[in-house]
Chain A
Amino acid sequence: MKIHEFQAKEILANYNVPIQRGYIVSDANHIEHTISKVQSDFDSDAVVVKAQIHAGGRGKGGGVKFCSTSEKASEAANEILGMNLVTHQTGAKGKLVNQILITEALDIKKEFYFALMYDRAKNADVFIVSTEGGVDIEEVAEKSPEKIIKAWVKEDTYPLADAINSVINTLDLSSYDDAFEIFSNIYECYSKSDCNLLEINPLVLTEDNKIIALDAKVDIDSNALFRQEIIASYHDKSEEDPLELKASEYGLNYIKLDGNVGCMVNGAGLAMATMDIVKHHGGEPANFLDVGGAANVDTIKNGFKIILSDPNVKSILINIFGGIVRCDRVANGVIQAVKELNLNVGVVVRLQGTNAKLAKEILDKSDIDLVSAETIDDAAKKAVGMVL
């Protein structure tokens, strides 16, 4: 689960990690007051206005502005709050800015890149740091990979202290007494908050020699939210695709794509493979949809509702491997759902597994308009054929 910058900074601050301080604003009427509060509370005439959306590249998109005076700050805040921010990560549609963070401005001596994540290959946590901070790290990785340094942490194998010392040496921070404590606090924050990713870009050294998190991006392990009550409350539904949100309420796993062949499949791997074969036959999948292992009338009906909420969809391919759930029951479920929902797009059904033959007979004999197929290949061709 992604959270906003100001929320990530709150978590960091709870672990005594120094952050760039500020206040959040969601109502334009509070802009003036908040600016002066930031100025007086943090003794900073200049302030920074930062759009709070779950996407990177906010600065380049015009969603982060340094303002030397109250007037400029007010102008920037009014412009950014409510704007539709387009960055390389939001897609062309952009994202509506519902909240802005107004912060103190700091005099920066050096900017670093800092991240903590899990390295699957080494089964260890890994610090990733670079002296090239504040810029797109992917660019650094491409142009000068030698400037990105990794240090691993694993019980019994790679001690935390070694990793932190390596980070400190890489960033040339060994003369700063509090550096070790700050990095161990960040690691503690990462571990105890069930973070998949904790990225600070940039982490800065100020002119008055303080190490401060200027930005923060955190991705929390959704499977651990049951024990992270406060963080769970940070969930911002407005950041999610409304269809994906609705699907998750139905207990379905749905991701919207740009094509027009809707896909309904059981199992994540088979769902991806089905999208791929649609593409292979010249079509474009409209979505990823995993209805789960136990495909029944309700999950199929809800699946149809979600797929059909996407106006681009011109045909639907149902690909279910009936294992424990018998195909004849899935077939009856499909027929019932199609009847109840009054579909007006073509539906191709491929059921394989227990009682697959019986299921095909049931589909072929039914009085509703759908096409049955025996193999995925055949099914994909038919579903693509309907939209071409």
Chain B
Amino acid sequence: MSILLNKETKILVQGITGSEGLFHSIQMLDYGSNIICGVTPGKGGETVTDNNIPVFNSIAEAREKFEIDASAIFVPPRFAANAILEAIEEKIKLIVCISEGIPISDMKKVKNALDKSDSILIGPNCPGLITAEESKIGITPGFICKKGSIGILSRSGTLTYEAIDQIVNVGLGMTTAIGIGGDPIIGSSMIDILKHFAQDENTKGVVMIGEIGGNMENEAARWIKENFDKPVVSFIAGQTAPKGKRMGHAGAIISEGSETAEAKIEILKECGISVAKTVSEIGETMIKLVGE
């Protein structure tokens, strides 16, 4: 089993005719993702890829013909917020936005619309999610994944891959891995994702990777202590990051004391969570907790 995504999930790709959208749609199809159709305004009526995936001008048009469960958004950042809003309006259950560089004030509007809807947004500025050996939405490399019992959630893309790789290499395997995004405003928080993992019988433990900036890890740590009884291994990146500098991700900037890696690690430990000392110890730390 898995969370949010499986091989049956019917996927629509927004921005499917763009170079990124098309490239990753092909990668997703190769992995087994059930892409039903795509949307690019003005390109309705065309088809793309060897599978002849139909393209529509809008999600509303696509919905007249197909049932859609999830949307993957590969749209340039200045148009991405509107793409998310369109998906929310069309009541798409799962929306995954890969685009990086969406203005914060656009995301405030998205977040308000999201609060009033039943949609789940993953991202933006994220690699998306992947359920091992079933389906992926986004850009995570599929071949590194193997089915198993560990759920993975992370604010960073390549650190998600690193964690998947280590979890597979120590022989555990994974259920679903989710990159929730490196922006200051994202659709799903760590707690939101942990709630899904809590309900998934196959997920026996969770890797949770955070970084400097914001207080999401601290809130998740306290929530885990009260509500989550599966083993959690955490890692926080940015112990050597200087204060006040934006470290690549728009959200990775220390503006107050509780946002440093040290402060987060301390809170995680206080809440009884195992913290990997370095990035290379994520897999080993998990196997110590859950056994072979």
A interface with B by C-beta (< 8 Å)? 118, 120-121, 123, 125, 154-156, 191, 194, 196, 221, 223-224, 226-227, 253, 255, 257, 265-280, 285, 288, 290, 293, 321-324, 352-354, 375-377
Contact = CB atoms under 8 A, between A and B. Distances in A.
A154 B111 CA distance: 11
B157 A269 contact: yes
Given A272-B211, A275-B241, A288 B247 contact: yes
Interface in B230-247: 235, 237-242, 245, 247
Contacts, number: 158
A155 B112 contact: yes
B141 A288 contact: no
Nearest to A120: B214
Contacts of B161: 321, 323, 353
A323 B139 contact: yes
B215 interface: yes
Interface stretch (B42-50, B57-65, B195-203, B248-256): B248-256
Given A293-B157, A353-B144, A118 B184 contact: yes
B105 interface: yes
6 contacts: A118-B104, A268-B247, A269-B249, A276-B239, A288-B247, A354-B141
A322 B144 CA distance: 10
Contact of A323 (B101, B141, B219, B277): B141
Residue among A196, A224, A268 with the most chain B CB within 10 A? Answer: A268
Contacts of B238: 272, 276
Nearest to A192: B105
Contact of A257 (B103, B154, B239, B240): B240
Interface of B: 27, 77-78, 101-106, 108, 111-112, 115, 139-141, 143-144, 154-159, 161-162, 165, 182, 184-185, 209, 211-212, 214-216, 219, 235, 237-242, 245, 247-252, 261, 277-281
Residue among A224, A293, A377 with the most chain B CB within 10 A? Answer: A224
A323 B156 contact: no
B30 to A, nearest CB: 11
Contacts of B104: 118, 194, 196, 221, 223-224
B141 A276 contact: no
Contacts of A272: 211-212, 237-241, 247-248, 252
Contact of A154 (B112, B249, B278): B112
A263 to B, nearest CB: 10
Residue among B141, B185, B250, B261 with the most chain A CB within 10 A? Answer: B141
A148 B215 CA distance: 20
Residue among B155, B158, B214, B251 with the most chain A CB within 10 A? Answer: B158
A275 B240 contact: yes
A265 B158 CA distance: 10
Nearest to B24: A324
B158 A280 contact: no
B281 to A, nearest CB: 8
Contacts of A273: 159, 162, 235, 237, 278-279
A276 B112 contact: no
Given A118-B104, A269-B252, A273-B162, 5 more contacts: A118-B184, A120-B251, A125-B108, A224-B104, A224-B105
B218 to A, nearest CB: 10
A255 B278 contact: no
A223 B103 contact: yes
Contacts of B240: 257, 272, 275-276, 278-279, 285
A194 B105 contact: yes
A280 B139 CA distance: 31
B237 A276 contact: yes
A166 B105 CA distance: 23
